[in-house]
Amino acid sequence: MADSKTERGLKWEVRANERYFHRSCRRKSFLCFRWGRYADNVVRSYKYTPLTFLPLNLYEQFQRTANLFFLLIVVLQPFSPHSHIYLSRSLCSHVSQGRRRSDGQINRRPCDILTPEGFKTVKWKDVRVGDILQVHKDQIIPADLLLLCSTEPHSLCYVETADIDGETNLKFRQALSVTHTELNGDSVKQNLAAFDGIVWCEEPNGNLHSFKGELHWKGERHLLDTDHLLLRGTVLRNTDIVYGLAIYTGSDSKILQNCGKLKLKKTQVEILLNKTVLVILLFMLTTALLLAVGAGLFEHRVSPQYDVVTVLQRDSSPAYLGFLSFWGYIILLSPSMPMSLYITFEVIHMVHCLLIGWDVEMYWEDNNSPAQARTTTLNEELGQVGHLLSDKTGTLTQNRLLFRQCFIAGHIYGDMSKELKPLDLSWNRFSCGGLKFSDQRLVDKLCERSSPECQEFLTALALCHTVMSEWRDGLPHYQAASPDEEALVCAARELGWVFLSRTRETLTISEMGLTRNYQLLALLDFTSKRRRMSVLVRDPRGQLKLYCKGADIVVLERLQTDRPLQESTERALELFAQSCLRTLCVAVRSVPEALWTEWSRTLSQAATSTGNQETALEEIYDQMEKDLTLLGVTAIEDRLQEGVPETIATLRRAGLKVWVLTGDKTETAVNVGYACKLMDPDTTLIQGEELRQLLESPSPDVHVMSKEPEVWITDRRAVKGKAALVISGPELAELTRMPEWGAKFVALSDQCQSVLCCRVTPAQKAEVVEMVRKHSTSITMAIGDGANDVNMIKTAHIGVGLCGMEGSQAVQNADFALAQFSFLRRLLLVHGHWSYYRICILLRYFLYKTTAFALVHVWYSFYNGFSAQPMYESWFISLYTTLYTSLPIQCMGFFEQDVSAKSCLRWPEIYSIGQKQQLFNPLVLAITLLYSIYTSIILIRASPNAYSTPEVWLTICVTTCIAVLPSVTIRALGVVLTNPNKHKIHSLNKPVELKSWFQRGTLQRRSSYAVSQGKGFGKLITTGVGFPSTAPPQDRRVTADSLKKESPQGSLIEMNSGDVAC
């Protein structure tokens, strides 16, 4: 039996209500050693513990080559003033309790677990594998739970997964029928306490969309899948209480499996600096060795000729004196290894972080959130970002869908201006507010009942959906499988067509005060392939009608051939698309009784067939969804965060490649891409088979032909105009398995405007970031706001977390924290550019002045017989390294600005200086070191006997002028020889245009609704599973008198006219 489970991949054993069994196998750790099987439920995102701080910190510090040398100097100079700096710097740099405090807040959250005495409230960190938990409505799930039962019929429950995949629509989960039947009832606590089932499932993994397992109970085996699993981090909605068995806890839970590990991040500038310091160290050791050899030869050949020098030798051998001279030169040349540079480096980093936090332009007053620099080592890399990889939901958008416009009978209703005139909806007792629709003409027509088309349109919105109603405070509130559906049903409610309740066979709505019961005959559910849904109902007058809504390209081809208003409909779709609204066509069909009788018989046969049932049902649905009559078009705004289009447009001008990684469907992401200026109106989308052909091409490179981007595919067909790549999660999985495809994909993306990665998991987001890092040399930045973005935030060179609606996990694991996406423009273009410029100037100056100062002693050795004597007094050396040359450059490092903040934002092309590493690269460093050699030669030639002549000030002045002459000459030539008419940044005077245009009906853009949600609740509705255990209270109906008793099917009940007077 065990072997068969192993063969099926089921190696994880969980025993219900057996804490002792799991405690004996609990995972433990000491330093870097771990043993045991089952993790506890404690979150640990901090880097160090008190026990591991010293060894780990020392390991990280000694990865800097210079620190090893500094340790040697400290040993040689035990009383050196620098000997105390190293430890204090590391302590100040790394001891931070912020993450530990945030982890503690999560670990101390309350939850209820089952004990022998009943349910007891404990902390999250006390939950163990095998515990049975009780979760209440609106609580966060503390661990990955197997749903055992709930208070809803059929043990159904609804969860919100915004912190997992960014989607705000609800997902349903359902317990096994056997646990629902056996455990539910009046004695649920006793039943749960006696539950002794054993779960065998797959080992902990990060796959959020799959789960395989078996429940062994009472001698029977029951299969488990994702519909039975409640993931940690999801929120229980629309369900009073659920009971679950803890399967994975803590670091074993699926969301934390996707978070990745905390990585030590180094900037490209620091990496190059370390290499330069290593070269300087080798040069210094070689020089000290050569000078020591010179000292030995001097003592052997020259010293015997002078009695005074012979007396100083004291019979020491030349080899011994050379050995002593070697160590003397090591100490004498140690200023060439800039020990104080790293101290200044850290101090300037810290000041830059404070300046970011103090910037009032990046302060969000609504939630009192300033910008935060949560690390002090990545400031200059903010000025070098080449790839920006962003989440969509909650990062670019506000997670709010608003009904803004509609097209009915040739007229467009709704105002898109920012200053909306509120509608007078005081006559509607069911109004909950929040309607961002302003057009009194439509309200007047509805109140006067002067437009049958408008009434039929709103009737379709109130009936054609899978929304569940929930009554709170006498008002209906809705839970939907799609945010689009919720927005449409809420809009219909505000305009007087109120969806009240549903049963398995009926729909009850209020039409301007008239309560109508519609018989639900069939529900043709949504699928991503169909991109539409329909309901077949019998209205109170006995007529059969099919209401359908879906993507425009799908619905329009199913309309009657002689449809009126065709041109005006196309024009309305174009106008809505120009405003970047998500469009949806609504249609109706009158169905004859004979057709319904025949069609229902065919549907029943297909539903009981054993073959490919889904394909058969789709074919039968197509037979009914034809000869439709268009009622209208809805236009929904997926509202972007403030300033997102301007920010992305500016960042693209700055040379950043923007990628969007989202768990949403393709069409939703494409819509948002057009809205936020990620793609231009004439951008061609390369996706699917076309992208595969391109990646399978034997040509290793992708070339841009002519001035306009032009991507060639394998059949030598050119994709004209601009291009963007669109790829889905399954395609990405194949891409990451084939490295050569990954390299081609990244190379292709460099020829395109942007990349959209849709339906990706958190782990795939990190894989995309890793792929970009592997196949390109640019700096990557990842930005997100939810726990599903943590892994990519950790993987990127720089991680930015937004203080959004999806919790604080992203901020806790990020390097920088912002309140709004729009603040990214100032963070990169202003603070990033300034930090890169200041730190590069600082490093080059430090290398220049320390190397020049040390080389003077080398030249002086030829005058003092290689005796390792300093040329300057000790007090002068101390003042030189601290007061003379340290404080001025620190002031420049703190406050220097090559251009103002306003200029950085106005001319984002300046940002390319950091992307191209123009201020700190091997060539620039080589020139700097050569310049230091030149300066040291000038100083040594001017120094001997300079103070003994009366022209001392003239000597100092001439020496200074000759020393700075190369720098002044290069700058002057740069100004004189530069063509002023070439690459003028200030010649770009076009304002940022925020509208998008595209051709309706092309593959570039279509309605997003039809693929903006997962499978609907249709199956739950038609089987009667998804309904609440109790009907809405009778006094919550339209009027107390008319709805005290259940309305008969097909009846027409009129409201009290005083309640609905318009």
Give the integer Cα–Cα distance in Å for 138 and 170: 12
Hey, what are 57's tokens? Answer: 């910190």
Nearest one of 495, 820, 476 to 634, comparing CA atoms: 495
CA distances to 584, 629, 892 from 562, rounded to whole Å, are: 21, 10, 75
Nearest one of 1029, 1017, 1047, 1018 to 510, comparing CA atoms: 1047
CB 143 within 8 A of CB 153: no
Q: Name the helix (H) or strand (E) containing 817.
A: strand 816-818
CA distances to 289, 861, 864 from 321, rounded to whole Å, are: 12, 15, 15
Burial class (CB in 10 A: 0-12, 13-18, 19+), 75: exposed
Give the integer Cα–Cα distance in Å for 798 and 800: 7
Give the integer Cα–Cα distance in Å for 793 and 786: 10
Hey, what are 757's tokens? Answer: 């990665």
Nearest one of 812, 781, 777, 810 to 795, comparing CA atoms: 781
Nearest one of 816, 973, 921 to 362, comparing CA atoms: 816
CA distances to 151, 160, 193, 215 from 224, rounded to whole Å, are: 20, 21, 21, 7
Our answer to whether residue 144 is catalytic in this structure is no
Give the integer Cα–Cα distance in Å for 874 and 332: 11
Give the integer Cα–Cα distance in Å for 478 and 485: 10
Which residues fall within 8 angstroms of residue 213, CB to CB, at 6 or more apart? 10, 12, 146, 199, 200, 201, 202, 223, 224, 225, 247
CB 446 within 8 A of CB 428: no
Give the integer Cα–Cα distance in Å for 44 and 27: 14
**Residue 375's Cα: distance from chain center in Å?**
18
Give the SS3 label for residue 941: helix
CB 406 within 8 A of CB 572: no
10 Å Cβ neighbour count for 778?
19
Give the integer Cα–Cα distance in Å for 852 and 935: 6
CB 291 within 8 A of CB 861: yes
Hey, what are 324's tokens? Answer: 């002593």
Strands 816-818 and 372-373: antiparallel
Q: Where are the alpha helices (DSSP H) in 449-539?
A: 452-463, 483-494
CB 147 within 8 A of CB 242: yes
Identity (one letter) of the amino acid at 457?
F
Q: Name the helix (H) or strand (E) containing 207.
A: none
Strand ranges, E, within 525-590: 532-538, 544-550, 582-590
Q: Which of 391, 638, 664, 785 is catalytic?
A: 391
Q: Cα angle vertex 26, ends 20, 32, to 5°?
A: 160
Question: Active-site residues: which are they?
Answer: 391
